[in-house]
Amino acid sequence: MALVLLVFFAGLLGHLLWHGAAGLSWELFTAPPRHAGRDGGIAPILVSTGLILGVCMVTALPFGLGTAVLLAEVTQRRSWTGEFVRRSLDTLAGVPSIVFGLFGNAFFCVTLGLGFSIMSGGLTLACMVLPILIRTAEEGLRAVPREYRLAAAALGFSHASTVCQLLLPAAVPALLAGFILGLGRAMAETAALIFTSGYVDRMPASLWDSGRALSIHIYDLSMHVPGGDGRAYASALVLIGLLLVINAGAMWAGRRLTAQWILVA
Amino acid sequence: MYTTWWPPITLSHSRRDQLLRALLWSCASVAGLMLVCIVAFLILESAPALSHPGWRRFFTDAAWHPTEDAYALWPMLAGTLLSTGGAVLLAAPLGIGTAVFCQWYAPAWLAVPCRRLIELLAGIPSVVFGFWGLVALVPLINQWQPPGASLLAGICILTMMILPTTSLLAQASLAQADPDALRAAAALGFGRWGTLRRVVLPSCAAGLLTAGLLAASRALGETMAVLMVCGNVVQLPSSLFDPVRTLTANMALEIPYAAGRHRSVLFVSGLLLLLLVISLVGSATWVRRALRHV
Amino acid sequence: MNAGRAWIPLLLVLAATAGCGDSPDARQPLTKLSITGSSTMAPLIAAIGKRFERRHPGVRIDVQTGGSSRGVADTRSGLAHIGMVSRALRALEQRDLVGTPVARDGIGLIVHNTNPVGALTPRQVVALYTGGMTTWRPVSGKDASVVVVNKAEGRATLELFLKYFHLTNAEIRADVIIGDNEQGIKFVAGNPHAIGYVSNGAAEYALRHEVPIKRLPLTTASAPPAAGHPAPSPLARPLTLVTTRRPPALAQAFIAFAASSHVHDLVAAHYFVPLAA
């Protein structure tokens, strides 16, 4: 059974490579799309994707870490509020992305007046990835041995310094894993972005501009543009490549941070 | 048994710590508030449909023809439950299996690339899964049993989509096994399998359950891929090869072209889905509590 | 205190994004036109928008999608200056909105190219779609079950199809329901016994690029299908740009440009039919 699945996955990746490799070129990364994306490159789309992810992570990380620390380090076992936050997060994780999209459109674009913009898209995505970030960070913090906290308390550390200087650095690998998982989810998102960050494939001038994300580009090319398949495959390959780079980068950063921390400790 | 760490009631009254707690609570309240906002938004949008035709009709009407005054949502509820259930039944054992393999059996040179591959798969957009399903998987099933776009195709694609997340979360919780307990098991002469079965898996049950839960809710909420491979016919499937429509696909297919009452009924599908997720989370809490008392 | 250093990059990014916020929207005479609506029209209108931008330096055309209903709703609420609607306006909508067709899009039946059936009469199409004919045998095809592909509720193509064949959606016995044209083409291309109806433009492009489908002409008892150029299909919908009754001057200029012969090459390049000048 596992083998069958492996075959499926190999089939999927092979299929992408087979159809997409021909479309990979230098032009793809440097040129703007032409003829609705059938020709040309995806440069503005890459920039928009990066900005959307940036907004998403910059907003989601502080909230995510804060909530995770609260759940793991502050709330007690029988705390009613802690349980409530945890259950709301589990529920949020299951809200379909299209609902997030429609909600983001109504709230960020219309109510807050951000319009179709990279800002709206990033904030909507932040709402989506928050549950993943928090749950993985909480698990990571719980995995830090109890002795650390006891030792810190015995040394007279304040709770704040225990968290900031001991627990969070010790949990860096888990935090990174959560970060990667969240980023992957955000990058793969389509339905939530159509209604928020929008469809404009021009190079964005600011965060208040509409910008097309890579996954929307893939969706549009494969579903609305006759003959867009070639570029759609190539874009999908680029997306997977980006994920690989981000994974590797995060791992490298994680290793450096952990090494530094051990030196200090 | 290894118990999870719960912080004691803090005695610290330092200004910094009070500030920290205030900060953390405000972070957490944002998460809670967001859910409240989304629920309120869904209820507001579906209110016209809930007053007329009323929620009863969604379960008693015979068919779904929203422009001809027939609003049966129950076949789609069934479609959602069947496809998600099938995918979780497949993905949970496979995900936990690969996690156990990577964490316990695989040598380091194999475990690390395995993990990277799984992380990579977790980031493939659902559109790509759906696209591949449409051009490769559906024709394959079609040759076997037409029409191809079916519950089975949906289950296969969903399994592939939630497997990476399940596996990664399961690995995270397996990594938490108490090292003392492992050493004790080794000292008692437990083999690898014995340690796993008697020590690790029981102590990680709650974490594994969470992994399964998150996977199930991801499958419930999945839209684009399911829309492309499931066939989207509103009916109660009589076999794995019958096409079905899920609640999410219903929203994504029709909302762009719906107005007025039709649009409102589509938001009811969203509300229904949210209720499903809430009941899932509730039952998981109950199971977790039961596990704790064992 | 080394751990604190990890937060420095984060703070820098925060500061950088806060800096970006200082560029406020110009509230001068309108230079940014926002257009939302039909996803079928969006690629075409975006291309027209680019050409329009080149002729009017300083003007920006932002095209968004989300479906024809969104186009109507956003134009009404003022969220967009122009809406894209891939059908004719309904009577109720004509009360407060003005529509200008910019191109036409025909609908045609498609089957897999190994299907031996050459043409169908409207009566046969109705029989296929309502379950009166469940295999291809009666129309001298293979003895295999027909896989009927229908469109999702609310789509303009579905409306047109139903109206043309005097059907209601409740009568149709579909095996597969699809959303977009490309999904239909990809499904039929992967299924030798399927029949579906899609936008002619999309089918035309697929045919020229060796996708294994073929178009199925409709015959009537009196007039067999003419070879070569078929008469304009009665199964066609106008692609319409809508505005409120008093649109801004820039919106009027854009609509006039989009309906003019300056963009016929773009319309053709997207496989739609330009309106006769």
Handedness of CA B179, B182, B186, B191 (dihedral sign): negative
Q: What DSSP string runs through C166-197?
A: T--GGG---SEEESSHHHHHHHHHT-TTEEEE
Which whole number is the average pLDDT over C38-53? Answer: 90
Which residues, 6+ apart, have CB-to-CB distance to A32 below 8 Å?
A: A40, A41, A43, A44, A201, A202, A203
- Residue A2 confidence class, pLDDT cut points 50, 70, 90: low
Nearest CA in chain C to A113: C79
Helix axes A118-142, A172-187, angle to 10 degrees: 150
Determine the structural domain holding residue A178 and report its residue range. Answer: 26-264
On average, the pLDDT of chain C sits at 81
Which whole number is the average pLDDT over B183-210? Answer: 83
Q: What is the pLDDT of residue C242?
A: 95
How many domains, chain A?
1
For residue range B38-90, list pLDDT tens digits in order: 999 999 999 998 888 888 888 888 888 887 888 888 999 999 999 999 999 99
pLDDT score of B1 more than 60: no
For residue range C95-110, list pLDDT tens digits in order: 999 999 999 988 889 9
Q: What is the DSSP letter of C61?
A: E
pLDDT score of C65 more than 60: yes
With CB atoms and an 8 Å threshold, state whether B148 touches C190. yes
Residues of B in contact with A127 (CB under 8 A): 34
In a domain? residue B142: yes
- Which top CATH class is C105-216? alpha beta
- Which top CATH class is C31-104+238-274? alpha beta
In a domain? residue B61: no
pLDDT score of B230 more than 80: yes
Chain A, residues 38-77, CB within 8 A of chain C, namely 54-55, 58, 61-62
With CB atoms and an 8 Å threshold, state whether B6 touches A76. yes
Contact A144, A133 (CB under 8 A): no
- The beta-carbon neighbor of A226 closest among C23, C65, C206 is C206
Residues of A in contact with C20 (CB under 8 A): 206-208
Q: Is A208 on the interface with C (CB under 8 A)?
A: yes
φ, ψ for residue B92, nearest 5 deg = -60, -55
Residues of A in contact with C271 (CB under 8 A): 226
Nearest CA in chain C to A204: C62
For residue range C122-149, list pLDDT tens digits in order: 889 999 999 888 899 888 888 888 999 9
For residue range B253-262, list pLDDT tens digits in order: 888 888 788 8
Determine the structural domain holding residue B122 and report its residue range. Answer: 70-293
Kindly report which listed range (A30-34, B138-142, B267-271) carries the lowest average pLDDT score.
Answer: A30-34
CATH number of the domain that B181 lies in?
A: 1.10.3720.10
3-state helix, strand, coil in chain A (%, to 5): 75, 0, 20
Q: Where are the domains of chain C?
A: 31-104+238-274, 105-216
For residue range B140-185, list pLDDT tens digits in order: 888 887 778 889 999 999 998 888 888 888 887 887 777 788 888 8
Calpha distance A79→A71 (Å, rounded): 10
Residues of C in contact with A164 (CB under 8 A): 3-4
With CB atoms and an 8 Å threshold, state whether B251 touches A99. yes
Calpha distance A85→A252 (Å, rounded): 33
Residue C165 neighbours by CB distance under 10 Å: 18
Chain C, residues 76-135, CB within 8 A of chain A, namely 79
Contact C172, C150 (CB under 8 A): yes
- The beta-carbon neighbor of A236 closest among B9, B128, B273 is B128
How many domains, chain B?
1
Residues of B in contact with C151 (CB under 8 A): none
Q: Show the CA angle centred on residue A208, arms to residues A203 and A213, nearest 5°.
A: 50
In a domain? residue B5: no
Q: Do the domains C105-216 and C31-104+238-274 match in fold?
A: yes
Residues of C in contact with B228 (CB under 8 A): 183
| A&B contacts, CB < 8 Å | 249
Residues of C in contact with A54 (CB under 8 A): 13, 17
In a domain? residue B86: yes
pLDDT score of C244 more than 90: yes
Q: What is the pLDDT of residue C6?
A: 42
Place of tokens 């990174």: A176
- The beta-carbon neighbor of A224 closest among C14, C25, C40 is C40
pTM, two decimal places = 0.83
pLDDT score of C5 more than 70: no
Which whole number is the average pLDDT over C68-86? Answer: 89
On average, the pLDDT of chain B sits at 84
In a domain? residue A6: no
ipTM of the complex: 0.81
Chain B, residues 189-228, CB within 8 A of chain A, namely 207, 210, 213-214, 216-218, 220-224
- The beta-carbon neighbor of C190 closest among B65, B138, B257 is B138
Which whole number is the average pLDDT over A94-122? Answer: 88
